[in-house]
Amino acid sequence: MIEISYNVILNQKFEKTLLEDTLHATLKNQTTPEEVSVSVLLTDDEEIRALNHQYRGFDAPTDVLSFDVHERDPETGLLHLGEIVVSIPYAAKQAKKNSHPLEAEVQLLIIHGVLHLLGHDHAEAKEKEKMWTAQSEILTELGLGNIKISQ
């Protein structure tokens, strides 16, 4: 189950199927059982800045945050992997910088967030290479193999 929500101040909306397909492609690529849930919040720079400050100690906006939960929902029995928060204004700046559509940047950030929920990291060079390879594979599966992944 995928829950997508928007900060009320955002005017930008995305096709629900585009976001769901991105999540499903990522889970399938990582051979994750389909019986999981993930929540996605699309928000603004101010909200993500506040979350980044509260949970990571960085008082600045960022593109995406992942909050690992990995608990079973007692009502549905689904394993809730966690929550992903994406800043749409931050994503828009990155999309413009990398000369690709905002939708593609949001897809990349959702992939990135899900990979973090599944235990990937990019703190060390070897981990980063593995994570960036997975991102590239998933983007290619989605027909976005030409999307530049920022280092």
Per-residue pLDDT tens over the stretch 28-45:
999 887 689 999 999 999
Strands 64-72 and 79-87: antiparallel
The predicted structure's pLDDT at residue 33:
77
Residue 96, CA distances (Å) to 32, 88, 99, 103, 130 in order: 32, 12, 5, 11, 26
> Which residue blocks in 57-101 are alpha helix, DSSP H?
88-97
The mean predicted confidence, pLDDT, of the chain is 93
User: Would you say domain 2-141 falls under CATH 3.40.390.30?
Assistant: yes
pLDDT per residue as tens digits for the range 100-127: 999 999 999 999 999 999 999 998 999 9
The predicted structure's pLDDT at residue 151:
57
What are the structural domain ranges in the chain? 2-141
pLDDT per residue as tens digits for the range 45-95: 999 999 999 999 999 999 999 999 999 988 888 899 999 999 999 999 999
Tokens of 33: 């059982």
Residue 150 pLDDT greater than 80, yes or no:
no
d(CA 113, CA 27): 11
d(CA 139, CA 65): 19
The CB density around residue 52, as the number of other CB atoms within 10 Å, is 19
Residue 97, CA distances (Å) to 77, 91, 147, 150 in order: 42, 10, 12, 10
147 confidence band (pLDDT: 50, 70, 90): confident
The CB density around residue 73, as the number of other CB atoms within 10 Å, is 13
The predicted structure's pLDDT at residue 119:
93
